[in-house]
Amino acid sequence: SVEYILKNKGKLENKVYDVPREVDLQVAETMLDSYGIKIDKLTKKQVDYLTKSH
C-alpha cells in the first residue's frame, strides 16, 4: 500500500482510498507465503469458463 501511495504521489486526493485489488492480492500472497501456504492460480481455460455467460 505504501508503495502504491509513493508511485502515485501528487495524483491522489486527500481522502481514504480502498486498497487496489492487485495490491491486496500481493499482500495476501506474501503473508501466506511467509506461512508456507501456496495458493493455486487459475488456468486461462478456467478463467474463460468462469467469466463466460452460462
The total number of residues shown for the chain amounts to: 54
Residue range 47-53: mean pLDDT, rounded = 89
Residue range 43-50: mean pLDDT, rounded = 93
pTM: 0.52
| Residue pair 39/26 in contact by the 8 Å Cβ criterion | no
Cα(29)–Cα(18) distance, rounded to whole angstroms? Answer: 18
Cα(51)–Cα(30) distance, rounded to whole angstroms? Answer: 26
Per-domain boundaries in the chain: 2-7+16-51
Q: Confidence band (pLDDT; 50, 70, 90) for 41?
A: confident
Cα(52)–Cα(18) distance, rounded to whole angstroms? Answer: 28
pLDDT of residue 3: 85
